[in-house]
Amino acid sequence: MRQPRHNVDPVTAGTVSAMRSVPEHVARPDYATNGVPILRTPAELRKDDATLERMRIAGSAARRVLRKVAAEIGPGVTTDHLDAVCHAACIAEGGYPSPLNYNGYPKSLCTSVNEIICHGIPDSRALRDGDIVNCDVTIFLNGVHGDHSETFAIGQIDQRSQELIQVTRECMYLGISAVRSGGVVSDIGKAIQNHAESAGFGVVREFIGHGVGEVFHHQPNIPHYYEPSARFEFAPGMTFTIEPMITIGSPKAQLWEDGWTAATADLSRTAQFEHTVLVQEDGVEILTVDDDEAQPFLADADRQNWPATISLTDTGFKA
């Protein structure tokens, strides 16, 4: 029987293809032309019902786009091909791929392989049996962003990488379960860090979750580790991402010369999962779900039954 692989060679950059074009009829975010986002936090973080409905639509679209990308993942497939799939899928949804030209980012998708923590640039490198890859999709649709990612196994992977993926997914959902009206940001990081470290994994601190809506990144900042001073209080109508990055080894990051790709300092493997969520009066709602899925909503009254509401053992998409 063939043994699962764990590729030990560090990821090296391939050739990055030209930036893909977007049809003129597609509405664009403020940075699409010049690459410079208007950095602002909305005056009111609590979104109105009309904006929240747009957020649900964009979140569902992000989920569908990620499904299309996931269907293409496998040994021998280049991350540039995955970018092309993501780009076309966003346009088919009527949206703009949010990463494209955000502060000059050259692609429509982030693909982070093995030791790459986040913001890996799709290129000519082919995925290999034994790799793991995070695909991070964001779509700008109807004036708002939907942000969603998952980590996938390529072929057969080793046991520790399987555990890493599973624990990272659990960390995301446990972070979501910590969200409630009147709660504070540090509740999320505490839940995530406790679970990750109890399994022998590290939590990346350099990259965090963020508010999202009409602006791609805004307040509140969401650390995925316990930060006692993070006392920002949640209120109904707030939307933000929870996207823990968990490592087998060192949680410290080092940046590649491209200015985007962040790798673990010791080149150990890392995984990430992400949902966009909404604080409700009586619970928390996950916005990045497809129309054919039950709308995940964790009511305050159901928290004692967690994880029955959303299974932590569901492996999600298959590569």
pLDDT, average across residues 187-203: 97
Q: Is residue 177 part of a domain?
A: yes
Q: Reduced to 3 states, what is the DSSP secondary structure of residue 75?
A: coil
pLDDT, average across residues 41-51: 90
**Domain enclosing residue 170, as ranges:** 49-305
Q: How many distinct structural domains can be found in the chain?
A: 1
> Distance between CA atoms of 246 and 45, rounded to whole angstroms?
28
Average per-residue pLDDT in the chain?
Answer: 92
List, for residues 78-102, the tens digit of each pLDDT value: 999 999 999 999 999 999 999 999 9
Per-residue confidence at 308, pLDDT binned at 50, 70, 90? very low
Q: Is residue 12 part of a domain?
A: no
Please check the confidence at residue 131 and state whether its pLDDT lies above 70.
Answer: yes
Cα pseudo-dihedral 190, 191, 197, 199, rounded to 10: 170
Amino acid at 37: P
Q: Is residue 33 part of a domain?
A: no
Pair of tokens at residue 34: 């010049």
Which residues, in sequence order, are CB contacts of 51 under 8 Å at separation 6+? Answer: 144, 213, 214
- Best CA proximity match to 194, nearest among 155, 237, 226, 217: 226
> Distance between CA atoms of 40 and 101, rounded to whole angstroms?
18
- Best CA proximity match to 143, nearest among 52, 43, 33, 36: 52
Q: Is residue 57 part of a domain?
A: yes
If one compares 300 and 263, the residue with the highest pLDDT of the two is: 263
Q: Is residue 26 part of a domain?
A: no
- Radius of gyration, alpha carbons of the chain: 18
List, for residues 288-300, the tens digit of each pLDDT value: 998 777 656 666 6
pTM of the entire predicted model: 0.92
Q: CATH no. for residue 199?
A: 3.90.230.10
Q: Is residue 21 part of a domain?
A: no
> Distance between CA atoms of 98 and 125, rounded to whole angstroms?
23
List, for residues 156-174, the tens digit of each pLDDT value: 999 999 999 999 999 999 9
Q: Is residue 142 part of a domain?
A: yes
